[in-house]
Amino acid sequence: MSASLSRPRVGVWLIGARGSVATTVVTGCAAVAAGLHPPTGMVTETPPFTGSGLPALSDLVFGGHDTLDCPLPKRAETLTAGGVLPPGVATAVTAELVAADREIRPGGPTPGDTRSEAELITAFAADIRDFIHRHDLERAVVVNVASTEPASQGPDAPLPASTLYALAALRAGCSYVNFTPSEGMHHPVAAAADSGLPHAGRDGKTGQTLLRAVLGPMFAQRALRVRAWSGTNLLGGGDGAALADPAAAAAKNAGKERVLADTLGTVPEGEVHIDDVPALGDWKTAWDHIAFDGFLGTRMILQTIWQGCDSALAAPLVLDLARLTARAHETGLSGPLGALGFYFKDPVGEGPSGLSEQYEALVRFGRSLGQGEGEGQGEGEGEGRDAGSVSGPEATGEAR
């Protein structure tokens, strides 16, 4: 993509850079920047954010880490065949896909990798710094769009890969966004190493929980007592395979439950089941069954069905978050960006849980960015264990 004459370029370093979400992000950014498609789903392209000073889509430069070696153009072909990308778009932006693919570096740890955690962090940070230097970028945002990891198994367990990458982002002086349920900056080691750089997360709110963030406040505001709220997710692709692991599914469901607890003021009976259906590919179906009481205890039911493409739902949010976080960094904000909770199931910092209130906070944040100072800035959590002092073997890899 060509650089803007009026603004410096900004890097977007994707963890899981050859996965479905990342491929859709790169393809979609190029297509929208070229005027091939409208920016459907991108909140930052709506009127409230016109004066926010966000980097232009044409000024974003992509790179990343991944343990897979399938080239982005080939990955885009597969997504086109699966109906995720519209016909002809990947071909029209082949040059941009090739350019981004050249900037993808081997991730880790991989089976047989003998590097220590400290060595992995150093190597990842060096890759990011080299990317920034070679492209003469003003700054870069590291965005985790990798597969969900199981929760770590205690203080003596190896650091998860998401935390290694978060520490590498801090080491490279980059802001950080965790679009996954994985620990990332939530791990105590990363929290202790937080140097005050802006960060946001975690777990992008794209479907079932998006509806919950709307419906939960509705029941509370209408004084309707929810007795039970159960759900099922059917999905395939890399995310479906990853979430077949009960520990990974538990990490995913924690954010879904938090939205109900925060908006209803209580946790109703019921749970969410996640089923891996490989035949669905990048498409998912989410079903919710809500039992509630009306006037005089009359028992009623609300059922919802959400069917969508995970990558197409996530990609515009990733672009929004990269632009907002880069601008926050530019204006000098630090720490957790609570005002970006609109995008997440389990947001960092303080803020409301209802979608309407989250949107209002986001709009205020966007306006403040246009004035050069943002709301929702957090405090760095002080000096702690240095990012280079960690040790231990491997964690999981990353292809969403």
Number of domains the chain contains: 2
Please list the residues that pair with 228 across neighbouring strands. Answer: 269, 291
Residues 302 and 153 in one domain: no
Contacts of 196 (CB under 8 A, 6+ apart): 334, 335, 379, 380
Residues 85 and 226 in one domain: no
Q: Please, are residues 68 and 61 in contact by the beta-carbon 8 Å criterion?
A: no
pLDDT band at 251 (very low <50, low <70, confident <90, very high): low
Q: Which one of 310, 329, 361 terminates a domain?
A: 310
Looking at the predicted structure, is the pLDDT value of residue 274 above 80?
yes
Looking at the predicted structure, is the pLDDT value of residue 10 above 70?
yes
Which residue carries 């960060």 as its tokens? 199
Residues 212 and 73 in one domain: no
Residues 109 and 146 in one domain: yes
Looking at the predicted structure, is the pLDDT value of residue 390 above 70?
no
| Mean pLDDT value of segment 130-157 | 90
Chain mean position to CA 101: 20
Query: In residues, how long is the chain?
Result: 400
pLDDT at 191: 83
Write out the residue range of the structural domain in which residue 157 sits: 10-204+312-370
pLDDT at 252: 60
| Mean pLDDT value of segment 333-342 | 95
Looking at the predicted structure, is the pLDDT value of residue 381 above 80?
no
pLDDT at 350: 84
pTM: 0.88
Looking at the predicted structure, is the pLDDT value of residue 333 above 90?
yes
In tens, the pLDDT along 275-329 reads: 889 888 888 999 999 999 999 999 999 999 999 999 999 999 999 999 999 999 9
Contacts of 153 (CB under 8 A, 6+ apart): none
Q: How far apart are CA 165 and CA 104, in angstroms?
A: 14
Would residue 396 count as lying in a domain? no
Q: What mean pLDDT is reported for the chain?
A: 88
Residues 290 and 359 in one domain: no
Q: How far apart are CA 23 and CA 336, in angstroms?
A: 27
CATH of the domain at 61: 3.40.50.720
Residues 32 and 22 in one domain: yes
Chain mean position to CA 126: 23
In tens, the pLDDT along 207-239 reads: 889 999 999 999 999 999 999 999 999 988 777
Residues 22 and 160 in one domain: yes
Residues 50 and 195 in one domain: yes
Structure tokens at 203: 């777990």
pLDDT at 257: 80
